[in-house]
A and B are shown apart, each in its own frame.
Chain A
Amino acid sequence: DAEITQSPRHKITETGRQVTLACHQTWNHNNMFWYRQDLGHGLRLIHYSYGVQDTNKGEVSDGYSVSRSNTEDLPLTLESAASSQTSVYFCASSEGGNTEAFFGQGTRLTVV
């Protein structure tokens, strides 16, 4: 079965360190997304990609970057981790930009 996997599931890092969260999908979807989930805010879009070499900023992109070198992967990098980036991060993929999205299990990131 097709799936979308995130790694690691949990990570603790120190302020100022660079962190990369992995996302791999086997749906063969062109569209991939990164969201963060925080209490009281729901899910907010960080970055999205419509295909290889395409990346776009979402609502809360400051301090984050992504790259898309193949269809399957969209890693999310925190250039210099801050405590405000402590959150649960979800990767998703979809066939179309406004169609249903399939989500990974999430990565819980704690910045200390």
Chain B
Amino acid sequence: AQSVTQPDIHITVSEGASLELRCNYSYGATPYLFWYVQSPGQGLQLLLKYFSGDTLVQGIKGFEAEFKRSQSSFNLRKPSVHWSDAAEYFCAVGALVGLIFGKGTTLSVSS
């Protein structure tokens, strides 16, 4: 069955430090992969997506993600975190029935 796992429920990083959020997926075919961000009380905003081609994809707000088929992973990275990046982050895989989401990772940023 298709599924997405985000192993880290909550991560705290210092402002200016680098960030990596982990995502593993289970999907039979070539996956369509997404990262969304949700600020408190808001809807979900697309950060980036992978459909095919270059396995390193660039998104908005300075985020990037790397697709690794051999590891079934699609980890999100940012070289230098800003306090405004504090939010909840969701990884998702595209399926015939719409997007299947992981349970999310809450990012806190300390000063």
A: residues with CB less than 8 A from B are: 31, 33, 35, 40-45, 48, 56, 58, 90, 92, 94, 96-106
Mark the stretch among B12-20, B62-70, B72-80, B98-106 that contacts chain A. Answer: B98-106
- Given A90-B44, A100-B34, A105-B43, A58 and B97 contact (CB-CB distance below 8 Å): yes
Give Cα A92–Cα B101 distance, bound, in whole angstroms. Answer: 13
A97-B94, A103-B45 known, 20 other contacts, Cβ within 8 Å: A35-B101, A40-B103, A42-B104, A45-B98, A58-B97, A92-B44, A92-B98, A94-B99, A96-B94, A97-B95, A97-B96, A98-B99, A99-B94, A100-B49, A101-B98, A102-B46, A103-B43, A104-B43, A105-B43, A106-B42
B residues near A, CB below 8 A?
Answer: 32, 34, 36, 41-46, 49, 90, 94-104
User: Inside 8 A of B46's CB, which chain A residues have their CB?
Assistant: 100, 102
The 5 closest A-B CB pairs, nearest first, are A98-B94, A42-B103, A103-B43, A43-B101, A103-B44
Question: In chain B, what residue has the closest Cβ to A41?
Answer: B103
